């Protein structure tokens, strides 16, 4: 049963991600992000990382999606502007590469990890602790070891958001 849930969640995530990158209308692309986040949250729940699953739904599924939609509506792209960005054969190579990578991931997921592989030996040596996926196990390394990269990423997100607002403001 667990394998079936994983395969369904992975399939929903994969097809939603494919729909995101194949839509010409950015509003539809953002709408397809919700099933992607739900599928990924399901996989996190199967990994007993319930905090990560809840944060994925609340932060990305709630706040980030709304911000994306707000910015897209602020920019107010016209249909003729959307056609200029997309050429019929312009994304053929990335689409083929993404399909090959997806097939590779799917083959690993269906075949499983070989018993003599380094990955399997690493899993056997490091059993998951009882607090895996809890708030403490995530926040302590984040705010001790990785504080500077965490703050740099948040600064990068703010700068990107300001850039989008400035681009949208020029059109108004």
Over residues 91-100, the pLDDT tens digits come to 666 667 667 7
48: left (phi over 0), alpha (psi -120 to 50) or beta: left
pLDDT at 86: 54
Q: For the chain, how many structural domains are there in total?
A: 1
The CATH number of residue 35's host domain is 1.20.120.1200
Question: Which tens digit of pLDDT belongs to each residue from 71-88?
Answer: 877 777 666 655 555 566
For residue 13, tell me if it sits in a domain. yes
Pick from 23-32, 66-75, 97-106, 154-163: least confident: 97-106
Show the domain range for 88: 2-133
Share of the chain above pLDDT 70, in %: 67
For residue 99, tell me if it sits in a domain. yes
pLDDT at 1: 74
- 20's CB contacts (< 8 A; 6+ apart) are 29, 32, 33, 36
For residue 75, tell me if it sits in a domain. yes
For residue 61, tell me if it sits in a domain. yes
- What does the angle CA 158 – CA 163 – CA 168 come to, to the nearest 5 degrees? 125
For residue 146, tell me if it sits in a domain. no
For residue 171, tell me if it sits in a domain. no
In sequence order, which ranges of 76-134 are alpha helices (DSSP H)?
79-85, 92-111, 118-125
pLDDT of 45 strictly over 70: yes
For residue 91, tell me if it sits in a domain. yes
- What does the angle CA 17 – CA 19 – CA 25 come to, to the nearest 5 degrees? 120
For residue 140, tell me if it sits in a domain. no
Q: How far from 135 is each of 9, 39, 48, 50, CA to CA, in Å? A: 24, 21, 12, 9
Let me know: does 164 contact 71? Beta carbons within 8 Å. yes
In sequence order, which ranges of 1-47 are alpha helices (DSSP H)?
2-22, 26-31, 33-46
Higher pLDDT, 16 or 107: 16
pLDDT at 141: 80
């Amino acid at each position: 049963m667990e394998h079936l849930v994983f395969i369904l969640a992975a399939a929903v995530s994969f097809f939603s991600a494919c729909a995101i990158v194949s839509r010409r209308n950015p509003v539809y692309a953002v709408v397809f992000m919700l099933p992607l986040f739900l599928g990924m949250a399901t996989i996190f729940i199967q990994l007993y990382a319930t905090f990560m699953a809840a944060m994925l739904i609340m932060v990305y599924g709630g706040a980030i999606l709304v911000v994306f939609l707000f910015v897209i509506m602020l920019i107010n792209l016209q249909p003729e502007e959307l056609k200029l960005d997309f050429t019929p054969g312009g994304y053929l190579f990335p689409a083929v590469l993404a399909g090959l990578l997806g097939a590779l991931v799917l083959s690993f997921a269906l075949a499983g990890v070989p018993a003599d592989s380094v990955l399997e030996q690493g899993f056997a040596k490091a059993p998951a602790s009882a607090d895996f996926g809890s708030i403490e196990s995530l926040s302590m390394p984040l705010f001790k070891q990785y504080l500077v990269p965490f703050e740099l990423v948040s600064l990068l997100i703010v700068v990107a958001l300001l850039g989008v607002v400035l681009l949208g403001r020029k059109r108004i």
